[in-house]
Structure 1
Amino acid sequence: MGERSKIEWTHHTFNPWWGCVKVSEACKNCYAEAWAKRTGQSVWGINAPRRFFGDAHWAEPAKWNRRLEGTGRRERVFCASMADVFEDRPDLVESRARLWRLIAETSNLDWLLLTKRPENILRFLPEDWGLGWPNVWLGTTVELQTRADENLPHLVNAPAVVRFISAEPLLGELDLRRYLPHLHWVITGGESGPKARPASPTWFRNIHLQCMEAEVAFHFKQWGDWAPGDGDNLARKRLEHAQDGTPMVRFGKKLAGRALDGETHDGLPRIAI
């Protein structure tokens, strides 16, 4: 549970359950798996059980929703940071149905459903989905061009008030131009953690330019552990060169920051509720 989340593009996080299976290159150094292990939860893998929660946990979003009543404000909920709402397992059916009921009852919250399994979206949407529920944003992860070309045809065919992508951790050059007319928001950023892989600054700049040309909201979340810097006299373990030749220094996430070419990019999609 994450009231007042530290993730830059959301206000809260909510997990209907914990656990998942790695399915792409972005999953290699999965922060959620590492966090689960640190808390003593063995919930990753096909044969691992998922961790479910009681009524007190499920009641929290309703509290956030009530606080917003009459204020004219909306808040975003990232669901699920420790799982994938569209994972196909029989033991998730009941909790996913409960999640749809919760979302329907919290109309002051915008629910951000980010999946690495967009091929399952249409199968698992509620029957009364229509052209999309007004408080649900659908997104998918696209860390490489191959993943973009696999995942985005499924996402752009799913009706939603907001369709977004998370190009984080970005692991290669992306050409999103054929998909951007059907998207509303692009989040991107580098990888953090002890095994973080540095990203080329050129990759981020090119995505930013594509979003500007298509008038799609752009959010640069972070450099991650690696950021451009002066690599002179540094130990080899703290210096690598990006694909475009830029020296990338391992500063750590906090010091690396989230300014791209001197600017902070906190773009959000424009929607009418």
Structure 2
Amino acid sequence: MAKNSKIEWTTHTFNPWWGCVKMSPACKFCYAESWSKRLGEQVWGINADRRFFSERHWSEPIAWNRQAEREGVRARVFCASMADVFEDRRDLDGERTKLWKLIEATPALDWLLLTKRPDLVSSFVPWGEEWPSNVWIGTTAENQEWADKRLPELAALPAKVRFISAEPLLGPVALGEWANSLDWVITGGESGPKARPSSPSWFRALLNDCMAADIPFHFKQWGDWSPGQGINLAKARQAAEADDGTKMYRVGKKIAGRHLDGETWDGLPRIDRA
């Protein structure tokens, strides 16, 4: 789950389990929680059980690795879209151990571990200061408050690639002194029935930060809300003013698209494999 992901910045997604606990503003309207409940899975919250998977599920990345080796093209695996690998629960330790072994057994796959708990990463990974070169570690930074809390923790991790996901972007984020520790920035607006509009100026400022520091920039989507350039506004279901004063229109993420100032930003990390 799932080969050929629809997420623009990854090739596949893999979930060692489902379920998590909300911990910051980005989690408020969590798509993963909504999706799991729609499927009848009650796996969210501190007291809820997590959903685990069969060995067949765990064998899928082995097949992806063989394909990547055969084709000579590395594949990116987002882990985990329906959980947080670094959630502080002892009943997850066995699954984590399986995950570390799987990562080591699939060197043609780059594993993108995105967490809201970068402070816990070192206590769970088994690699000390010598991480496998196919591990990328990222953290969510939805506004300046959470960027300031999480980026120092992220910067201390010895991964080949360190990245942030500023999505959904809920406030301005300045990279500041942590820019030199980042290899990639992903950002985007929120989607879903309760989506909050992001200010276009927040995205532009983050792009400028990335350009100044030569950090690859990936704009994933506007989300449900768009500033409306080039869009048939007759399709807008709602209008609202963003924090920076921009008039935003609720048109749905498909219509809103992913062009920022007329361009598509699909930056990826530049990696020295030597």
| Equivalent position of 2:8 in the other structure | 8
Q: Is the CA contact (8 Å cut-off) linking 2:20 and 2:43 kept in structure 1?
A: yes
Give me the whole-angstrom Cα distance separating, in 2, the residues matched to 1:255 and 1:236. 10
| Equivalent position of 2:228 in the other structure | 229
How big is the shift at 1:236?
9.8
| Equivalent position of 1:163 in the other structure | 162
Deviations 1:178-232 (A, max 9, x none): 1110000000000000000000000000000000000001000000000002799
- Specify the code of the residue in structure 1 equivalent to 2:250: R
Deviations 1:12-70 (A, max 9, x none): 00000000000000000000000000111000000000000010000000000011224
SS in 1 for 2:267: coil
SS in 1 for 2:91: helix
| Equivalent position of 1:104 in the other structure | 104
SS in 1 for 2:71: coil
How big is the shift at 1:242?
1.2
Give me the whole-angstrom Cα distance separating, in 2, the residues matched to 1:5 and 1:233. 30
101-110 or 170-179, larger mean C-alpha shift: 170-179
| Equivalent position of 2:17 in the other structure | 17
| Equivalent position of 2:182 in the other structure | 183
**What are structure 2's unaligned runs of at least 5 residues?**
none
| Equivalent position of 2:212 in the other structure | 213
Give me the whole-angstrom Cα distance separating, in 2, the residues matched to 1:57 and 1:194. 31
How big is the shift at 1:239?
0.2
SS in 2 for 1:222: coil
| Equivalent position of 2:64 in the other structure | 64
Establish whether residue 153 from structure 1 lines up as the match of residue 158 from structure 2.
Answer: no
How big is the shift at 1:133?
1.3
Corresponding pairs, count? 272
Q: Is the CA contact (8 Å cut-off) linking 2:11 and 2:76 kept in structure 1?
A: yes
Deviations 1:227-251 (A, max 9, x none): 0027999799600011222110001
Give me the whole-angstrom Cα distance separating, in 2, the residues matched to 1:55 and 1:170. 36
SS in 1 for 2:101: helix
SS in 2 for 1:87: coil
Change (3 A) 1:233 1:49: closer
| Equivalent position of 1:125 in the other structure | 125
Give me the whole-angstrom Cα distance separating, in 1, the residues matched to 2:4 and 2:70. 20
TM-score, length basis structure 2: 0.96
Change (3 A) 1:105 1:177: same
Establish whether residue 261 from structure 1 lines up as the match of residue 261 from structure 2.
Answer: yes
Give me the whole-angstrom Cα distance separating, in 1, the residues matched to 2:164 and 2:233. 38
- Specify the code of the residue in structure 2 equivalent to 1:204: F
- Specify the code of the residue in structure 1 equivalent to 2:164: I
Give me the whole-angstrom Cα distance separating, in 2, the residues matched to 1:213 and 1:5. 31
TM-score, length basis structure 1: 0.96
* Percentage of identical aligned residues: 62
**What are structure 1's unaligned runs of at least 5 residues?**
none
| Equivalent position of 2:115 in the other structure | 115
Give me the whole-angstrom Cα distance separating, in 2, the residues matched to 1:242 and 1:234. 20
| Equivalent position of 2:28 in the other structure | 28
How big is the shift at 1:125?
1.1
- Specify the code of the residue in structure 1 equivalent to 2:140: T
SS in 2 for 1:190: coil
| Equivalent position of 1:91 in the other structure | 91
Give me the whole-angstrom Cα distance separating, in 2, the residues matched to 1:142 and 1:131. 26
